[in-house]
Structure 1
Amino acid sequence: MDLYRLPHSTYVFLTLALSCILISRLYFHQTPTVRVASLQKTRDLSQNDTKNFSDSIHANEFPNPSTGCALPEEKRFDCARDRTVSQAECEKRGCCYLPLTQTEYNGPPWCFYPASYPGYRMGPLSPTPKGQSATLSRATPSYLPRDISTLQLDVMNEEAGRLHLILKDPSSARYEVPYVKVPSSKRTNTEGFLYDVDFQSDPFGFVVRRRSNGQVLLNTSVAPLLFADQYLQFSTSLASKYISGFGEHYTHLTLDLNWTSVTLWNRDMAPHSDVNLYGSHPFCLVQEGNGQAHGIFLLNSNAMEVALQPMPALTWVTIGGILDIYIFLGPDPQSVVRQYHEVIGYPMMPPYWSLGFHLCRWGYNSTNVTRAVVQKMQEASFPLDVQWNDLDYADKKRVFTFDPQRFGDLPEMVQELHEQGLKYVLILDPGISSTSPPGSYKPFDDGQQREVFIKNLTGQTLIGKVWPGPTAFPDFTNSDAVSWWEECIRDFHANVSFDGLWIDMNEPASFVHGSVHGCPYTDLENPPYTPDVIGGQLNSGTLCMSSQQALSSHYNLHNLYGLTEAFATYSALLKVRGSRPFVLSRSSFPGLGRFSGHWTGDVRSDWEQLRYSIPAVLLFGLYGIPLVGADVCGFEGDTNEELCVRWTQLGAFYPFMRNHNDRNNIPQEPYVFGQRAQLAMNNALVIRYTLLPFLYTLFHHAHTSASTVARPLFFEFPSDPNCVTIDRQFLWGSSLLISPVLEPGVVDLAAYLPPELWYSVYDGKPYNSKGQYLLLPAPLDIINVHVRAGNIIPLQMAALTTTASRRNPMVLIVALSSQGWAKGDLFWDDGDSLDTFEHGDYSYVIFTAGQSQLVGEPIKLNGALDGLTVAEIRVFGVATPPTGVWANGERVYNFSYETDNKVLTVISLSLPISETFTVQWS
């Protein structure tokens, strides 16, 4: 058996680290319309290639391609993606060879499949406990080495909007990503299903249609299915060219389909174009062009490449495991994301304090320096909730230690921060120093004794190299390693009472390729095909692929490393601190949002990186990791005052906001700039802190119903063609539209307002848009924010920490629709306890406005709101100047009306938010 195949016994891991990714909402139902038929019967939609394989191909030989080569260039599928071939080699594969004259490297393939090409033959579908199953077989092997001639197809119609298909080798226990799916009883009828599926039997292919309109969403008959030992490939047409996903990459919100490709292989690589970055998310969302959308997810953790072409179509190639395919039918974009998150798990609920402002630098090289930074922030009246330390704190750069000279009083400093209402987070790399004298570094000594580290092919601890020098790497698929990790965190926390952990370098990164001793020459290190990874080799900047973990080889588990470490870290904090964990991870994979947030890595301090941080944040919302942000003002290189101001304004609307800087750069803390810049940054931070109750409520909805926090405009306006590709603006929930300045020297901003009534959040100025770009003033001290009519936004008066702000009075912005109504809500708990929603230990208030009155009504109370009051309301869109205002039936005299913008402001209220209240005006 090849090393990358998974021994059945290793499935014991399913009860360990990743067992937290149990999917409790998967239901298996009877099949909707599923047909095995010739695809000649399908409709030929103009945007899809529904060209059929010929039924006349003899199963035992490749065809003469000469009659099937007259294909438009955009419909050519590469027959030599695995390696470069000559004309003779191409034609030997039974493919067409037609050189083109394009001068660019990327373009239509010269060697491509003809319109007819032999493949697998599908047998009849048979019922199974989970759905249906069929055998696929091919009489003649493909051109790939170690081709697998017999496959099993499982078809599971799990939900009305979710189709699940698996293709695997029935004769071998190939590696599968260890997600557990829990079926429920099957439905007795298929009413309400959103899709139909047609299967072509020879050669095998399938078409998925939207049942409501017959639109073809996927058609895999456009190119053959390939399934070999280390090379799996399938292609499909797409319903439109507007496709988002396949992270993590430096990209716009929608991908370029002009003969491009993206590689998914976790790598320590600063964001720039055309390379694989820190995370792998084999998921995409396709806008169908009519307000509807669907998603595709390949549950596979091996190295993979996705080729995109203008047909529109894609080809998926992965070099291990199985083809475990989910299709989510939406029908709207937000429903697609919810259906996807039902599979990978809903995001965790972050602690309230983690939504405040975080400050970090690689270069705060002592406790005295760190204290001084906090003091200067306070003296300049900048809000700050969390102070961080990078690896400066560690003794000889070894994690779970602190430098006895420069950080000798670290425990005392952390206690001081806590007394000021602040939190403390430090970095934790997975690389464990292996060169300390025996008995001097407990994490390595204990880890070696308990055999918790990843091993090389000969069974010895694999040694790489990171910051402290030669290092071993914990195997978080090993239950003993998870326990050992918890003990290390517990012991360190007993000395330094940190509040959260920042897990970095966890792709995992190494400064040598493979190990300090190199890697053996095996098929795992040198597979027949390697996707286009940075460095050219799978082990570039990481571990040997042949290294062994409890679950499987690193070849299979590499992309899961950060996820497994995040689970182990989350679990340890859960037990050690007993409150809501805060974990920030650089490496990511589907499901990470259950345990961790993410930042976008070592971004440069320049305008381009500022600009591209918006689609990065929006895409991670799709991937189920809403707690995400880029390093404010940039990490690499020197910032400048204008850039840092504009980045702070944008960062105030990242779901996660941290200013982080490299040690060799000029300082970029807010207090180091001129007075005008400081004022602008302070304004941005105050806006953020004022909006935290609203942001926290959005996170509650993400945690409980998989809604997105920061979301693209097309999520709320899917039928507006102008919103399809906008990624210079974004929304918080459905209510707030953020339009930042992204270029230097800008004082007026062209911002798109979808067809709605919008109000400036600052003064209530109305904009009744027909769906148009408007030129808005954008001086240095302003970021444009608009509230959508029909919404009520709960605010809270800002303070320098969330510890203080959570006790302040609240303010309600009531943005009336043109019909005079609005609604909103507030989720509130203690901000730190575990599973408050699950245990019912929270308060929930709904706000409604209509017929010239505002009502606040607690739906659920647990005491968390006790003492909190509504001190002020601002009602936008009050058409007629009020002559009187009443609160709970008593006349109120402290109100004003702004005639130009039609804004009613009522102040000096003291309405307990834990009680039903009414404010009326007439």
Structure 2
Amino acid sequence: MGVFRFLCYCSFVIFCLLLFLPPDVFSVKKHDFKTCKDSSFCMRHRQLPKNSISFYVSKTVQTSKETVQVEITSMDNKKPLLLSVTLLQGPVFRFKVNEVDPIHTRFEVPYVIEQLPKQQTFSIEEDSKERMVLSAGDVKCVIMKNPLVVFVLHQGEVIVQLNKDWLLKFEEYRTKPMVTGGGDTKAEEDDEDNEEDDEKQEKEPAEQDSESKKDEPPEKEPKVDLEAGMWEESFKSHPDSKPKGPASVGMDIGFPGFKHVYGVPEHADSFNLRNTLDGEPYRLYNLDVFEYELDSRMALYGAIPAVVAHNTRRSVGVLWLNAAETWIDVDRPQDSKPMLKKLADFVTKTASEDLVTTHWMSESGIIDLFVMVGPTSKDVFAQYASLTGLAPIPPAFSIAYHQCRWNYNDDKDCRGVDEGFDTHDIPYDVLWLDIEHTVEKKYFTWDSHKFPDSKKLLDELNAKGRKMVTIIDPHIKRSNGYHVYDEATRLGLFVKQSDKTTDYKGWCWPGDSSWVDYLNPSAQQWWAGLFSLDMYAGSTLSLFTWNDMNEPSVFNGPEITMHKDALHHGGVEHRDIHNMYGMLMIMSTNRGQLLRSHNQHRPFVLSRSFFAGSQRFGAVWTGDNHASWEHLRASIPMLLSMNIVGLTFVGADVGGFFGEPTPELLVRWYQLAAFTPFFRAHAHIETKRREPWLFGEDNTKRIRNAIRRRYTFLPYWYTQFFKTSVTGQPLMRPYWVEFPQDETHFAKEDAFLVGPSVLVAPVMHQGSTNVEVHLPGTTGDLWYDYRSLMATAAPAKLTVEADMDFIPVFYRGGSIIPTKGRIRRSSVLARDDPLTLIVAPDSQDSAEGDVYLDDEHTFQYRMGKFLYRHLTYSQGEIKSQMAKQIVAEPNFTATLPVHGSQNFVSRVKVERVIVLNVAKQPKEAILTSGKDSRSLVVLYDAPSKSATIRKPDVNIADDFTIKLVKCD
């Protein structure tokens, strides 16, 4: 045992030494992580031939107006499964497949579905030998009984097909087979299970028909023993005991009529998912991947098992609710399949040759599948949010600029950085501390030598409207006398080893560590209590939290994570919950911040790991990226992929975590990141210091301007965060969300929109001083250059000058965008500063927009203490009025929970209105507010055709009208 501990210690030391080497001397070590061939269940599913062994409906169990349950049985395996179908408000179809009488209870994912939408009723139009047809308005579900294939239709069009290729596979729990001589396992004769199926598929490929053989993935390597790894498996000397045996589930999901599918973050890959049959599937298995490589389907820190398919007519979404290791193949065949057309003829007269098929494979759990019908992408986003929850409005400081590195050394260093921002007139809101601020990496502690009076430091920052974030990770140093470790041990709140009694042990930053079992409700509550001001000594209400390493990262574990046979609360294996471990942690941290303020103040938590539903608890970043142009470019598709599946408050480390950015790269990164939802600079401990003023006067000015640009747009950002909290719409948007019929941009990932109204086309190549910008839209749509304010008609492809001072940004015609022209030291100090409204009319000389205000840090808005104004412009007249009970966007409308927003007292006035595309200089502007009516000065700029209305000085809370008066 002593030798083992010594080897573990050596491994830990080597790992830490590698972290401190210059990052460019090595790249990701792929051999530390599994490929599909290293994962036995992935191989069993992936080598299942198409159209070979299928299921049929063997019995109807229940039919009602809200639920249909049928038994389905494999043609080669007589053990029945239960398929249940329900229709939820949205509309969203839910399909569940589970064992009828399992010998072990199969894990079903908790916490993700915040509140299940109300079940909708449907009628059974037909229940014959061939099929069952469920109908509710313009949506239908057709269950073909033999073989089992399920169609989802909307307005008579098939939009999703389940088990089209007969790849449904469900490994039921079974008794472990006896061991024969020689160490091989042999199933008992009466054990009719899927092992027999796999053996047949391996030994008898010649018996498959020619069509099935044609559809099989190309074989890159000789077939492997598919029975290997069912009861035990190892990877790089790490054993996995698999005490319950094989329990994987999988199924193919087809999207007829679609060529483009997006989602399943997190991957450093293209936004538009690629065909995988020529290589590795996309993998969802949360991992600490050191200096991850690009253009890769390897698993990274987070996992959201959801996709959105889109074509020129509609969108549709799928959520595969499973937290175990999951692989997804994507197939883009060019021709429709004979079997597809044969079955489709039952339900529709139209069949498209465009067909993306996805094949989902998870190691354990059940099949719990949600199909979001759409029909628009914005409908899909709202339907997904109705399942996994809406992202709340974050505190306003958190959407401003954050300054971080590993590590600011002590309180003197922190004060020096803080003063540096003031000296160089650069705003910022949050200063961050990494692991070195603690005592021996013991979280919830402060090193008293480095930070002798942390409360004083926090209060000094807070006096300037600034906050601090400290890191708190899930691994707890095994040290007697450390109160967190002692109490968790006494209460039995750590994850257990597979022996069910010993606390799980591994290595991470503190050395010998144990991990909190966040699946345990008692552990969740205990963890939340650690954030109280009396428990977290040295903290204040202005201190917030960074949860890192929560995949979880275990330096000496398999794939640098936790053993799958480790045990959680209720005897649940880690394999069942791995991908949601990080979400459970930030859920508990979020609860802790709520409790410490008696549910008065909004939390802010940043997490590296995530799962579906994480948007309810905090923000996310893309992990340990690199200071390279390639990683700068990769940040956009990564962030877009998160946004379209509900995770909207996201960003990438400015400048790259590893390596040394050139001044040019750093400037360009700031300019891009200022238009991403989460805006933070961060760097590795061994990198040179990167505060914005350390790269020469010219670059300091450029970075200052980029950060100030963020602060200028904060009213627009805050309004978009509010609207997202109500509608579930993404903050960062691909072109096709706003321009769903423009197929030329369906794969675009080098530009994006912020909300519906601001287009950003960053510089992402070294030495570039111009950008080719595509302005989408139909003939006559207008876009306005942020710098020149001049209009350009869409659709258009422009080469836009982008010197080192700017990147191309455009306002969408038809928009009114609230901004602030005064820049303070922090967003908190600018809370009551006046607004500048940018009016960008469309070709009909009209525009509209919104302004949302509240106190920016409490939950008083939930009791009606907020202000939501709707702004309109038409033919030279601007109006502001209380918004009705809707939030309207192009192609989307959602109900607003208004409870009397007049309760909020606003001190915010309008100090300037800039109207674009005004043909001639106006004579004046007339402001009318209540009984007050007065003339306002209008300044006109002929080259840009912009009219600036000066000093309306009217409260944004008031109803008012401003009318431009033409010259005679």
Query: Smaller-chain TM-score range?
Result: 0.7 to 0.9
Distance in 2 of aligned mates of 1:373 and 1:765: 39
Q: Is 1:401 aligned to residue 420 of structure 2?
A: no
What pairs up with 1:510-525 in 2 under 5 angstroms?
Answer: 510-513=554-557
What pairs up with 1:57-72 in 2 under 5 angstroms?
Answer: none
Which letter does structure 1 place at the counterpart of 2:559?
S
Are the equivalent residues in 2 in contact too, given 1:583–1:597 (CA < 8 A)?
Answer: yes
- In the alignment, what sits opposite 2:843? 818
Q: Is 1:574 aligned to residue 599 of structure 2?
A: no
Distance in 2 of aligned mates of 1:840 and 1:199: 46
Distance in 1 of aligned mates of 2:660 and 2:361: 40
Which letter does structure 2 place at the counterpart of 1:760?
D
Distance in 1 of aligned mates of 2:384 and 2:903: 35
SS at structure 2 position matched to 1:911: strand
Equivalent residue for 2:578, pick from 541, 558, 569: 558
Label 1:808 to 1:545 Cα distance change in 2 as closer, same or farther (>3 A): same
Equivalent residue for 2:539, pick from 492, 496, 503: 496
C-alpha deviation, 1:253, in angstroms: 1.2
Which letter does structure 1 place at the counterpart of 2:926?
W
Which letter does structure 1 place at the counterpart of 2:82?
Q
Are the equivalent residues in 2 in contact too, given 1:856–1:917 (CA < 8 A)?
Answer: yes
Are the equivalent residues in 1 in contact too, given 2:453–2:538 (CA < 8 A)?
Answer: no
Distance in 2 of aligned mates of 1:209 and 1:183: 20
Are the equivalent residues in 1 in contact too, given 2:149–2:161 (CA < 8 A)?
Answer: no
Are the equivalent residues in 2 in contact too, given 1:861–1:914 (CA < 8 A)?
Answer: no
Label 1:559 to 1:216 Cα distance change in 2 as closer, same or farther (>3 A): closer
- In the alignment, what sits opposite 2:370? 326
Q: Is 1:778 aligned to residue 802 of structure 2?
A: yes
Distance in 1 of aligned mates of 2:483 and 2:403: 30
- In the alignment, what sits opposite 1:134? 70
- In the alignment, what sits opposite 2:613? 591
What pairs up with 1:381-392 in 2 under 5 angstroms?
Answer: 381-392=425-436
Q: Is 1:542 aligned to residue 586 of structure 2?
A: no
Are the equivalent residues in 1 in contact too, given 2:495–2:503 (CA < 8 A)?
Answer: yes
Q: Is 1:228 aligned to residue 158 of structure 2?
A: no
Label 1:222 to 1:353 Cα distance change in 2 as closer, same or farther (>3 A): same
- 1:486-529 deviations in Å (ceiling 9; x for gaps): 2322235442224310000001111111xxxxxxxxxxxxxxxx
- 1:623-650 deviations in Å (ceiling 9; x for gaps): 2221110001111111110000000001
What CA RMSD, in Å, does the superposition of the two structures yield over aligned residues?
2.3
SS at structure 2 position matched to 1:395: coil
What pairs up with 1:697-716 in 2 under 5 angstroms?
Answer: 697-716=719-738
Distance in 1 of aligned mates of 2:712 and 2:602: 23
- In the alignment, what sits opposite 2:524? 482
Which letter does structure 2 place at the counterpart of 1:915?
D
C-alpha deviation, 1:585, in angstroms: 0.7
Label 1:216 to 1:914 Cα distance change in 2 as closer, same or farther (>3 A): closer
- In the alignment, what sits opposite 1:869? 909
What pairs up with 1:563-642 in 2 under 5 angstroms?
Answer: 563-577=583-597, 578-642=600-664
- 1:704-732 deviations in Å (ceiling 9; x for gaps): 11121111111000100122011111111
Are the equivalent residues in 1 in contact too, given 2:122–2:136 (CA < 8 A)?
Answer: no
Equivalent residue for 2:297, pick from 249, 259, 274: 274
SS at structure 1 position matched to 2:832: coil
SS at structure 1 position matched to 2:375: coil
Which consecutive residues of structure 2, in runs of 5 or more, have no partner in the other structure? 1-35, 124-133, 173-246, 334-355, 884-899
- In the alignment, what sits opposite 1:310? 332
- In the alignment, what sits opposite 1:163? 93
- 1:126-172 deviations in Å (ceiling 9; x for gaps): 3147411101123533xxxxxx8210010112235311111110212
C-alpha deviation, 1:258, in angstroms: 4.6
- In the alignment, what sits opposite 2:267? 249
SS at structure 2 position matched to 1:643: helix
- In the alignment, what sits opposite 1:208? 152
SS at structure 1 position matched to 2:725: helix
Which letter does structure 2 place at the counterpart of 1:362?
W
Distance in 2 of aligned mates of 1:698 and 1:768: 25
Label 1:444 to 1:206 Cα distance change in 2 as closer, same or farther (>3 A): same
Q: Is 1:457 aligned to residue 512 of structure 2?
A: no
- 1:658-697 deviations in Å (ceiling 9; x for gaps): 0001111122211111111111111111111011111111
Which consecutive residues of structure 1, in runs of 5 or more, have no partner in the other structure? 1-77, 94-108, 142-147, 514-538
What pairs up with 1:138-157 in 2 under 5 angstroms?
Answer: 138=74, 140-141=76-77, 149-157=79-87
- 1:209-242 deviations in Å (ceiling 9; x for gaps): 3324x24432522233211132212113333231
C-alpha deviation, 1:275, in angstroms: 1.3
Distance in 1 of aligned mates of 2:664 and 2:91: 47
Are the equivalent residues in 2 in contact too, given 1:346–1:594 (CA < 8 A)?
Answer: yes
Label 1:639 to 1:160 Cα distance change in 2 as closer, same or farther (>3 A): closer
- In the alignment, what sits opposite 2:485? 444
SS at structure 2 position matched to 1:495: coil
Are the equivalent residues in 2 in contact too, given 1:160–1:193 (CA < 8 A)?
Answer: no
Of residues 679-688 and 634-643 in structure 1, the stretch that sits farther from structure 2 once superposed is 679-688
- In the alignment, what sits opposite 1:174? 106
C-alpha deviation, 1:188, in angstroms: 7.1
Distance in 2 of aligned mates of 1:309 and 1:238: 10
Distance in 2 of aligned mates of 1:873 and 1:170: 66
Equivalent residue for 2:952, pick from 885, 909, 918: 909
- 1:165-191 deviations in Å (ceiling 9; x for gaps): 111102123111114654646447798
Label 1:906 to 1:431 Cα distance change in 2 as closer, same or farther (>3 A): same
Distance in 1 of aligned mates of 2:959 and 2:83: 57
Which letter does structure 1 place at the counterpart of 2:659?
G
Are the equivalent residues in 2 in contact too, given 1:828–1:865 (CA < 8 A)?
Answer: no
Which letter does structure 2 place at the counterpart of 1:560?
M
Distance in 2 of aligned mates of 1:186 and 1:119: 27
Of residues 124-133 and 677-686 in structure 1, the stretch that sits farther from structure 2 once superposed is 124-133
Distance in 2 of aligned mates of 1:199 and 1:186: 18
- In the alignment, what sits opposite 1:846? 870
Give identity over the alignment, percent. 28
Distance in 2 of aligned mates of 1:668 and 1:290: 45
Report the TM-score, using the length of structure 2 for normalisation. 0.78
Of residues 214-223 and 311-320 in structure 1, the stretch that sits farther from structure 2 once superposed is 214-223
Q: Is 1:676 aligned to residue 698 of structure 2?
A: yes
C-alpha deviation, 1:818, in angstroms: 1.3
SS at structure 2 position matched to 1:689: helix
Equivalent residue for 1:881, pick from 908, 921, 929: 921
Label 1:115 to 1:165 Cα distance change in 2 as closer, same or farther (>3 A): closer
What pairs up with 1:310-389 in 2 under 5 angstroms?
Answer: 310-311=332-333, 312-389=356-433
- 1:546-590 deviations in Å (ceiling 9; x for gaps): 211114121111111111111110001001033000011111000
Label 1:591 to 1:893 Cα distance change in 2 as closer, same or farther (>3 A): closer
C-alpha deviation, 1:274, in angstroms: 3.0
Distance in 2 of aligned mates of 1:390 and 1:286: 39
C-alpha deviation, 1:862, in angstroms: 4.4
Label 1:318 to 1:700 Cα distance change in 2 as closer, same or farther (>3 A): same
Distance in 2 of aligned mates of 1:206 and 1:184: 23
- In the alignment, what sits opposite 1:65? none
SS at structure 1 position matched to 2:862: coil
Are the equivalent residues in 2 in contact too, given 1:207–1:220 (CA < 8 A)?
Answer: no
Report the TM-score, using the length of structure 1 for normalisation. 0.82
Distance in 2 of aligned mates of 1:140 and 1:167: 18
SS at structure 2 position matched to 1:363: coil
Q: Is 1:417 aligned to residue 442 of structure 2?
A: no
Distance in 2 of aligned mates of 1:291 and 1:603: 37
Label 1:906 to 1:83 Cα distance change in 2 as closer, same or farther (>3 A): closer
Distance in 1 of aligned mates of 2:434 and 2:744: 42
- In the alignment, what sits opposite 1:763? 788
Label 1:743 to 1:243 Cα distance change in 2 as closer, same or farther (>3 A): same
Which letter does structure 2 place at the counterpart of 1:693?
P
Q: Which stretches of structure 1, 4 residues or longer, exceed 6 Å deviation after superposition? A: 78-81, 188-192
C-alpha deviation, 1:118, in angstroms: 4.3
Distance in 2 of aligned mates of 1:216 and 1:275: 29
- In the alignment, what sits opposite 1:749? 771
State the number of aligned residues.
Answer: 785
